[in-house]
Each structure stands twice: as structure tokens, then as C-alpha cells.
Structure 1
Amino acid sequence: MQFGIFSVGDLTVDPTSGSIPTEHEKLKALVTIAKKVEDIGGDVFAVGEHHDSGFVPGSISTLHAFIAAQTERIILSTSIAHITTNDPVKMAEDYATLQHLSGGRADLVLGRGNTGQVYPWFGKDPSKGVELTIENYQLLRRLWDEDVVNWEGNFRTPLQSFTSIPRPLDGVAPFVWHGSIRTPEVAEIAAYYGDGYFANNIFWPKEHYIRLINFYRQRYEHYGHGTPEQAIVGLGGQFFMRKNSQDAIREFRPYFDNAPVYGHGPSLEDFQAQTPLVVGSPQEVIEKTLAFADYFGDYQRQMFLVDHAGLPLKTVLEQLDLLGEILPTLRAEFDARRPAGVPDAPTHANRVAARDAKLASETSPVEPTSPVEPVETVTA
């Protein structure tokens, strides 16, 4: 099981102080958070692409390359990168470059984005979101899997004898997760290619995500990649911890009540009851997180959002220290519960090893067998 932190890079007013970070301060804070994730033993740091005012992550691959130079172990991912409005050729080259510079510590969560105004900024039609997703990912996949690509589609100029550079590290492309909170077609794409499916279940009741995840698992089996239990699933989550649950609730309430994403809506208590958000003690975070597998099945990656709603960097780093304290328990409990046959989370190393093992099995000569006595055929 991989555990990590994701950020949307929002510039939100701290309701307790009235302060708001500058773009420079927020970008530097993201680097600090990523390094802290590695320090506490986390596995993944992810940033979501945004081009709206009030956010800073417009160039994730640049940010992650800077972080890669200052870390050694964590996987650098997206949460999400826009497959709809980015040029697949540029994505193929940017993320293959990041893969090389990070030593294979790069993967992607791809998605459509949740703000329609972004489409025309990049010359795209927001009514074509699903069609863009399908076509652009088909091209991105080919650019990584094929050395020379001839291609023609509906949304960009044709390619003739084109080679995307650099080629993927060790001949294995970055692993791709497809993120969606409401679109079955995205789950279908993930299943078709045998990719991962990331359900960022932070806003809606679990029943909504259970349907999407189960659909993905069924279609994963349909396309011959394995059993439903072997499908690769990632989940989102949110927490705010203090040693005492009452202190956590009292401290987090003004942030919740004023946050642009869910402030002025359901109460904190109602939102906790209906979604994965948990505000309380470390033990409460452990218990609620472990319950996710009861609803969604065994899965491979758990990501948490902790730096949103105007929380100052000092508080975020305190939250990560507390997460570091409970990570060994979460790992041990998930490992103990995981049935045999459920795959590990994808990494570059284990994917290269799997590719090499498959190639070896396909090219190994068949050893001659010792003569044996013929077996009598039994008929009914």
C-alpha cells in the first residue's frame, strides 16, 4: 500500500488570521511539503493542475522536477493533469523527461478537470470533454509505446513518422491512473488499458464511489487484465488531527466553515458523517481509513489532502508529523488484511521487473522432458 499527500495548490485566506500566501510562498510551501512527506516515510506527493486565479500549479512537471532534485524516494504524481486541454505530444515529452530525471519516480493521474472555463483558454470545446479524453489518451499511449507514430485524429494536426523524445525510461512508460468522480467513461478507459483508477472520494457519500469503482473492476476483468480484485485502485481522503479530538474539531472548524470548496454548506459534523473527511484523534483517522477497504475493496494507494482551506504551512507540517506517527500502524493493518493475489502498488521497478520476466518467459527455450510412461485415458 502506498500512502501520500496531494495538494490543489490553492491560495486561500486563513480565516483565523486573514493572511493569504503569495504565489511564491505557496510554490515554495509545496516543495517543503513534498520533502516532509519523504521525511515521515510517505510514498507519494501529488499536485493537481490548475490554471484559474487562486491556484499556483500551472506547470506540474516543472515543479516536480525541482522536487525530484531534492528527494530520493517519493513518487511524484499529479492529482490531476488535464488530458483534455494539454497537447499529448507535450505531455509525453514532459513526463518522460521527469521520469528520467527522477529515476523512475514519476506517474500521472489524468482527468478532465473540473472547471469548464479552462477549455477555451487552451483552444478546446468544453462540450467535447469525453471525446478529448479518449482521443488524447490514445495518442499519449501510442507516443510512449511506439518508437515511430503515424496518427490522425479530430483535435490536433496529424503526425507523420514522429518520435517522442526522450523515450520512456527503461522502455517502460510512466504508470497512469485515470481520475474521475462522476464519469463512467473514464473508468472504462482505465479498464480497457489495464491502467489504475483513482477515485478522489473527498466530497460525496461512499455509495457514489462504490458504483464507479465496482464498474471499473468489472470492466478490468472483462478486458482480460485479471480478476476484479486485481484491479489497481487509488483513493483520496482528508484529515485534520490533534492528539485530542475536541482540540482538532475546535481548531479546524473555522477553516471548514470558510473554505471555498465546502464552506457555508453542510456542518462539519454532517460532512464527516457523509464523506471520508475525519477531524479528530490519530486513532480516529486510523479507524476511518482502514474502513475504506470494507467499502471499496482492497486497493493500492491512499492519498490525503491536508494543505487546503487556508491552513498555514506550520500547521500542515504538524499534520504530517502526526501522519508519520500512524503510518506504521496503517501499513501493518492493511498488509495483514490484504488477501493473497491482490497486487502491490505499481512502481517503476516492479513494472520493469514484470516486463523482463514476461519477455524471458516468452523467449526461453522449452527444456526437454524426461520420457514418462503413457497415461491411460479415463472416459466417463
Structure 2
Amino acid sequence: MQFGIFTVGDVTADPTTGRTPTEGERIKAMTAIAVKAEEIGLDVFATGEHHNPPFVPSSPTTMLGWIAARTERLILSTATTLITTNDPVKIAEDFAMLQHLADGRVELMLGRGNTGPVYPWFGQDIRQGIPLAVENYALLHKLWREDVVDWAGRFRTPLQGFTSTPRPLDGVPPLVWHGSIRSPEIAEQAAYYGDGFFANNIFWPKDHFRKLIDLYRQRYAHYGHGTAEQAIVGLGGQIFMRKNSQDAVREFRPYFDNAPVYGHGPSLEEFTRDTPLTVGSPQEVIDKTLTFRDTFGHYQRQLFLMDHAGLPLKTVLDQLDLLGEDVLPVLRKEFALGRPADVPDAPTHASLVADRDARALQAHQDLKQEMAR
């Protein structure tokens, strides 16, 4: 089981002081949070991709490259790579380059984004969002697996005899997660390719996300990648902690009430009751996070959102200390209990290389046996 954090990179005023960080301060804060994530023993850091205020992470590979140079173990991922408005050729080359620089510690999560105007800004039509996601990933998948590509589709100019450079590290592309909060077509796409499926389990009730994950698991098995229980599932979550539950609620309330994404809507109490948001003690975070397994089955990755809504950097770093000291050891132990032996861990670059080599060896042995008959 992998644990990590993700950031959306919002630049939001602190409602308790009225101060808004500069873009530079927010970018530096995100990188400091990533370095802290490795320090406390987390496995993954992921950043969103946005091209509109109040968000700053418009160039995830630039940010992840900086973090790669300052970490040794942390898996570096996107929380959204816009497969609809980025050129698949550029994605293929940027992430392969980053993969080499980070010695394989690179993944990406594909998504369509949540901002309608981004489509015309990059020359696309939001009404074609799903077809764009399907076609662009088909090309990206091909670019990473074939040295010379001939290709034609609806949404970009054809390719003839094209080779993306650099080639993936060790001939193995970065692991891809397909992220979704509402689209069954994306769950189907993840299942078809045998990739990971990430349900960003933060805003809506669990029954909504259970339907998407169940669909993905069923279709993963249908396409012959393994059993439904062996499908590669990741979940999001939101937490805010203090040693004392009442202190956590009192401190976080003004941030919740004024957050751009959910402020001025349901109360904090309603939101924590009806969604995965946990505001309370470390034990409450542990207890609620463990219920995710009961709802969704054994899964491979849990990412938490912890640095949004104007929270100061010091507060976020304090939260990470609590996560590393009081929560993470317990969650690792509890999630390991009762985990079936045939449920795989989340893939890593090393495991993907080993699987590729094992398949090649088996194919070679099968061929030798066939020739000997």
C-alpha cells in the first residue's frame, strides 16, 4: 500500500489574516511540502496541472524535475495531466525525459481537468472531451511502446515514421493512472489498457465513487488483466488534524468556510459526514481512512489533499509531522492485515521492468519448447 499527498496548487488568501501568498511563495511552498513528504516516509507526491488563476502548477514536469533533484525515494506524479489539451507527443517526450532524470520515480495521472475555458485556449472543443481523452491516450500509449510510429486520427496532424525522444527508461513507460470523478468512459479506458484507476474521492459521497471503481474492476477482469480484486485502484482524501479533535475543527473552520471549492455551501459538519473529508484527531483520520477499504475493497494507493484553502506552509508542515508520526505507521500496519496474497502492490518502475523481463523469458522458453517438439 502506498501513501502520499497531492496538491492542486491554489493561491488562496488565508481567511484568518487576509494575506494572499505570491505565486512564487506558493510554488516554493509546494516544493517544500514535497521534500517534507519524503522526510516523513510518504511514498508519493503528486501535483495538479492548471492553466488558470488561482492555480499555479502550469508546468508539472518542471516542478517535479526540481523535486527529483532534491529527493531520492519519493515517487513523483501528476494529480492531473490534461490528456485532452496537451499534445500526446509532448507528454511522451516530457515524461520520458523526467523518467530518466528521476531514475524511474515518475508516473502520471491523466485527466480532463475541471475548467471549461482551457479547451479553446489550447485549440480544442470541450464537447469533444471524452473522444479527445480516448484518442490522445491511444497515441501516447503507442508512442511509448513503438520506436517508429505511423498514426492518423481526428484531433491532430498525422505522424509518419516518428520516434519520440528520449525513449522510456529501460524500455518501460511511466505508470499511468486514469483519474476521474464522474466519467465511466474513463474507468473503461483504464480497464482496457490494464492501467491504474484513481477515483479522486474528495467531494462526493462514497456510493458515487464505488460505482466507478466497481465498473473499473469488472472491466479490468473482462479484458483479462487479472481478477477484479487485482485491479490497480487509487483514492484521494482530505484531512486536517490536531492532537485534539475540537482544536482541529476550530482551526480549520474558517478555511473550510471560505475555500473556493466548497466554501459557503454545506457546513463543515455536513461535509465531513457525507464525504471523505476528515477534520479531527489522528485517530479519527485513521478510523475514517480504514473505512475506505470496507467500501472499495483492497486498493493500492491513498493520497491526501492537505495544502489547500489558504493554509499557511507552517500549518501544512505541522500536519505532515502528525501524519508521519501518528497516522502513517498505523495505516501501513492496518492495511496490511488481511490483505490477500494475490492482491498486488502498486506497480513501480522496478516491478514493471521485472514483469517485462519475466514475460520475455517465459516467451523465450515457450518458443524453445515449441521448436523442440
TM-score class, shorter-chain normalisation, is over 0.9
| One-letter code aligned to 1:339 | P
Q: CA RMSD in A?
A: 1.0
Instruction: Give the Cα separation in 2 of the matches to 1:99 and 1:335.
Output: 29
Deviation per CA, 1:20-45: give whole Å up to 9, x if none. Answer: 11111111111100000000000000
Q: CA deviation at 1:365?
A: 6.5
Q: Which structure 2 segments of 5+ residues have no match?
A: none
| Equivalent in the alignment of 2:333 | 332
Structure 2 CA distance for partners of 1:367 and 1:86, relative to 1, 3 Å: closer
Give the TM-score taking structure 1 as reference length.
0.96
Aligned pairs (5 A) from 1:140-219: 140-219=140-219
Following TM superposition, the consecutive aligned residue runs of length 4 or more in structure 1 with deviations greater than 3 angstroms are 365-368
TM-superposition CA deviations, 1:349-371 (whole Å, max 9, x none): 01111111111111126899xxx
CA 1:310 to 1:211, structure 2 compared with 1: closer, same or farther past 3 Å?
A: same
Superposed, 1:67-78 pairs within 5 Å as 67-78=67-78
The equivalent residue for 2:53 is 53
Bigger drift between 351-360 and 160-169 goes to 351-360
Where do 1:1-380 residues align within 5 Å?
Answer: 1-325=1-325, 326-364=327-365
Measured in 1, the distance between the counterparts of 2:102 and 2:245 equals 39
- Amino acid paired to 1:262: Y
TM-score with structure 2 length normalisation? 0.97
1:186 match: secondary structure: helix
After superposition, the C-alpha distances for 1:305-327 in whole angstroms (9 at most, x for unaligned) are: 00000000000000000000121
* Residue 130 (structure 1) shift: 0.3
Name the aligned partner's letter for residue 75 of structure 2. Answer: I
Call closer, same or farther: CA 1:281–1:85 in 2, change over 3 Å: same
Task: For residue 336 of structure 1, report the CA deviation from its aligned partner.
Answer: 1.0
Aligned residues: 368
What amino acid maps onto 2:119 in structure 1?
Y
Q: How many angstroms does 1:328 deviate by?
A: 1.1
- Please give the alpha-carbon distance, in whole angstroms, between the structure 1 residues aligned to 2:2 and 2:365: 34
Q: Report the CA distance between 1:337 and its aligned residue.
A: 2.7
State how far apart, in whole Å, the 2-side matches of 1:205 and 1:54 are. 26
Question: How far apart, in 2, do the equivalents of 1:357 and 1:224 lie?
Answer: 18
Cα distance in 2 between the residues matched to 1:25 and 1:178:
30
Query: Within 1, Cα distance between the matches of 2:193 and 2:236?
Result: 22
SS for the counterpart of 2:304 is strand
Name the CA distance, whole Å, in 2 between partners of 1:123 and 1:254. 39
Residue 351 of structure 1 aligns to which amino acid in structure 2? L
**SS of residue in 2 equivalent to 1:9:** coil
Q: Distance in 2 between matches of 1:278 and 1:366?
A: 55
- Find the aligned partners of 1:59 and 1:209 in 2 and give their Cα distance: 29
Q: Distance in 1 between matches of 2:237 and 2:55?
A: 20
Q: C-alpha separation between the residues in 2 aligned to 1:197 and 1:22?
A: 34
Measured in 1, the distance between the counterparts of 2:98 and 2:289 equals 31
- State the distance in 2 between where 1:366 and 1:228 align: 30
Secondary structure of the 1:256 match is: helix
